[in-house]
Amino acid sequence: MSISSDEVNFLVYRYLQESGFSHSAFTFGIESHISQSNINGALVPPAALISIIQKGLQYVEAEVSINEDGTLFDGRPIESLSLIDAVMPDVVQTRQQAYRDKLAQQQAAAAAAAAAAASQ
């Protein structure tokens, strides 16, 4: 995987345009030399920056939802990550620990239920 600064700059430039920040887009385009890049803007779909950020956020949520042995945690995430939360290592680690704790509680409850059923 490779990401060039021209690609990132182009996506930011398009985002600014699409969001109505025409003056900011113009200034950013001049300063980042967008017109000199080899990117064919006609091939880039609208909202491309938002789309790729959402995919990255989904990847982080999936990463948080996977046990150390590669299995998935049961159930949905405790709550969705915000974009800022997703880039903060402490928040991601806390979320992973919350999943582990939830899994341990589920396993303990299942074991207690199995023991109670076996003793009857």
Residue type, 113: A
Confidence label for 35 from pLDDT (cuts 50, 70 and 90): very high
Pick the CATH number of 5-43 from 3.40.50.720, 1.20.960.30, 3.30.413.10, 3.40.605.10: 1.20.960.30
Q: What is the pLDDT of residue 76?
A: 56
Q: What is the pLDDT of residue 98?
A: 81
**Domain residue spans of the chain:** 5-43, 48-119
64, 92 contact by CB (below 8 A):
yes
**Three-class secondary structure of residue 22 per DSSP:** helix
> What is this structure's pTM?
0.75
Q: What is the pLDDT of residue 89?
A: 83
What is the gyration radius of the CA atoms in the chain, in angstroms?
22
Q: What is the pLDDT of residue 30?
A: 98
**Three-class secondary structure of residue 89 per DSSP:** helix
- The model's pLDDT over 47-81, given as tens digits with 9 standing for 90+, comes to 999 999 999 999 988 888 887 777 777 655 556 88
